[in-house]
Structure 1
Amino acid sequence: MSEQFESWRIRPLQTHYRIVYLDGIHFGIRHGSGCDSSILLTILGVDLEGNKEMLALQACAEESREGWLSILQDMRSRGAIQIDLFATDGHEGLLGALSELFTATPRQRCLVHKQRNVLSAIPRRERELVQADLVGIWKPEKKEDALANLVAFKAKYAERYPQAVRSLCEDEEHLLTFYDFPVGMHRHIQSTNAIEGFFSNVRQRTDQIDAFTTETSCVRLVWAVMQDIRFHKVTVS
């Protein structure tokens, strides 16, 4: 399995990908009698035909700008240099790496993560009402209407829930990027659900493992599990 994994890890990639999803998943790594959490940085690509492909996996002690720079540079060195859209969460290290290596590439902030962040600043008794307004921001067919809803949301809640509005405004310019792509793509690029689904699949197959012995064994097992996961095509036009 080691040789097969190594061949996969260094294989050439396609030059052009329509969508690239970036995220990380935490695993326990045993160190002597103790156990630490490490993160597996993950790059999932969608080619011009809508086929999903795991482009890279890399274990790091923690999620950082340096870790993301390393895995993204590896992706580029293997040929993937033209990306139409990145779908990401809001981790500062990831955003810093992207701003250095892919300055001109559009980015969509995961709306599921953003919604969760905003609502965490709202009292539970008010969340249902606020959530309806929040989700309503990106429901319209036209981007200009979504922008108007965004302005209205901020005006409505700025005084009552300033922390929630600040959270919404973080990365604000990347919330509505999906409107710049064909309507058929919208549901696929509004969130990082594509890669979250992969993580869920991996968890189901590795949940009997409390902790891995090394980061290398973790990456290789996830890769082995991945061989049995069937990725569904997505709309890219």
Structure 2
Amino acid sequence: MPVPKKKPTTQSSDGSTPESSSNTLPEQEEFRQHLRCLAVSAVQVLIEQVMREELEQCIGASWGEYTPHRRGYRNGSYTRDLITPTGRIEDLKVPRDREGVFHSQAFERYNRYEPAVAEALTQMFVAGVSTQKVGEVTQTLMGVAPSASAVSRLNQTLTEQFEIWRQRGLQSHYRVVYLDGVHFTVRHGTQTDATMILTALGVDLEGNREVLIFRASAEESKEGWSALLQEMRTRGVNQIDLIVTDGHDGLLAAIADLFPATLRQRCLVHKQRNVMSAIPKREQQEVMTELKGIWQQEKKDDALVNLAAFKAKYQKRYPEAIRSLTEDEEHLLTFYAFPSVMHRYIRSTNAIESLFSNVRQRTDQIGAFTTETSCLTIVWAVMQDIRLPKIPVG
């Protein structure tokens, strides 16, 4: 029989080669869905076979077999859906026995996806991934979005862990404690309000940094800071070598009441900003160099000499700048009372402000928190996920 000749290939007007519809491959997404369905069907067959074998071992006899060691009888099956890493299995046939003692281990193993999803949700969320994105990723990985119960358990778990954390005992002695606050937005019905989270970041006697305590407050006030410091005392703190702060009056008043004997360092970064705000822009660079030169001296005596010279030079030209500089003068050079290796870490509140910046980067996608409790819980979870390196403590 003669071999039929191949039909000549023709080209369309745009130069492309038409393909026969019978040879056209399915679209990529359609093909992937087809493979997913095949994989789900295969997993269903496997699970059902495993469960039948488990039931056989449970009752001591195979289908239709009569043995002297038989411990029960089959009682058909029931169907239910099951989520697996491959995808959703619908109408999975689960065998059962008359006495109701059979319990499939295979089913339990595949039913453990929700704790894994909850863990993934936690890790992704505290890393700054949006809730919508978490859902999309979970949908891709599991073939189904996280269930309401999984999300509920996640929230409950985080809340319980946060409650344990904020009731724990604290060490009695800390080398340094940084105090500062950060604003977040909380929704109250149709209104949104700014909530201040007052925070204490501690450095222990070995140089380990840790968030000790934080609490929500309507504003940064003496009452709010007093409540935080009193709670620190109640939970075991009785000695702090140095407290590093900005110049908020309410905070300073609370420290004077509850830790009057503790040395205090005024944040020099804040102080520099305050002084520079009273200096014309054309002279700020020169003045800033002189100002920083005060506390960059190796010895306190040299710093005091430079401080006196700075005040004498600019007192008449920029009295407001000098007033700002001397406002908290007795606490500007406290850091010299500590080993020189500590100076760069304790001259400012940068340590705690850096922590706040990291937290904000991860929580910005939330926008407004739904409740104050959710704000505290998520901020706590994020803080626990941030690595805080040790600092030298002399």
TM-score by length of 1: 0.98
| C-alpha displacement of 1:148 | 1.0
In 2, are the aligned partners of 1:65 and 1:94 still within 8 Å (CA)? yes
Measure the CA separation in 1 of the matches of 2:317 and 2:369.
Answer: 46
CA distance in 1, matches of 2:371, 2:250: 24
Report the Cα offset of residue 102 of structure 1. 0.6
Give the Å deviation of 1:82: 0.6
Aligned to 1:162: 319
Between 1:94-103 and 1:219-228, the stretch displaced more is 219-228
Q: How does 1:3-22 map to 2 (within 5 A)?
A: 3-22=160-179
- d(CA) in 1 for partners of 2:190, 2:277: 36
Match of residue 393 from structure 2 = 236
- What is the one-letter code of the residue matched to 1:123? P
Residue 126 (structure 1) shift: 1.1
Q: Secondary structure at the match of 1:25?
A: strand
1:90-109 deviation per Cα after TM superposition (whole angstroms, max 9, x unaligned): 00000000000011100000
Deviations 1:19-41 (A, max 9, x none): 00000001112223222212110
Name 1:142's counterpart in structure 2.
299
Counterparts of 1:177 and 1:195 in 2: how far apart (Å)?
18
The aligned residue for residue 109 of structure 1 is 266
Aligned residue pairs: how many? Answer: 237
Q: Deviations over 1:150-184 (max 9, x none)?
A: 11111111111111111101111000000010011
Give the aligned partner of residue 380 of structure 2: 223
Question: Which of 185, 188, 206 matches 1:28?
Answer: 185
Name the structure 2 match of 1:43.
Answer: 200
The answer to whether the aligner puts 1:52 opposite 2:215 as a matched pair is no
- Matched residue of 2:205: which SS? coil
- Which letter does structure 1 place at the counterpart of 2:241? D
Instruction: Please state whether the residue corresponding to 2:385 is helix, strand or coil.
Output: coil
Does the 8 Å contact 1:59/1:216 carry over to 2?
no
- Pairwise CA distance, 1:214: 2.1
- Identical counterparts, % of pairs: 68
For 2:357 and 2:294, the matched residues in 1 are separated by: 28
Shift of residue 217, structure 1, vs aligned partner: 1.5
Measure how far apart 1:127 and its partner are: 0.6
State the superposition RMSD in angstroms. 0.8
2: CA distance, partners of 1:158 / 1:215: 47
Question: Is contact 1:202–1:226 with CA below 8 Å preserved after alignment?
Answer: yes
Give 1:84's match in structure 2, choosing from 229, 236, 241: 241
Query: Secondary structure of 1:121's partner?
Result: coil
* 1:85 aligned counterpart, secondary structure: strand
2:309 is aligned to: 152
Give 2:349's aligned residue.
192
List structure 1 runs of 4+ shifted beyond 3 angstroms: none
Distance in 2 (CA, whole Å) between partners of 1:149 and 1:121 is 20
In the superposition, the TM-score normalised over structure 2's length comes to 0.59
Distance 2:267 2:376 in 1: 25
Q: Distance in 2 between matches of 1:227 and 1:140?
A: 36
Where relative contact order (Cα < 8 A, 6+ residues apart) is larger, the structure is 1
The farther-off stretch of 82-91 and 22-31 is 22-31
Q: Give the aligned partner of residue 255 of structure 2.
A: 98
Deviation at 1:4, TM superposition (A): 0.9
User: Could you tell me how far apart the structure 2 residues matched to 1:17 and 1:201 are?
Assistant: 24
Q: Which amino acid aligns with 1:51?
A: N
Once residues 243 and 197 of structure 2 are traced to their aligned partners in structure 1, the CA distance between those partners, rounded to angstroms, is 18
User: Structure 2 regions of 5+ residues with no counterpart?
Assistant: 1-157
Q: Distance in 1 between matches of 2:169 and 2:188?
A: 34
8 Å CA contact 1:24, 1:41 repeated in 2: yes
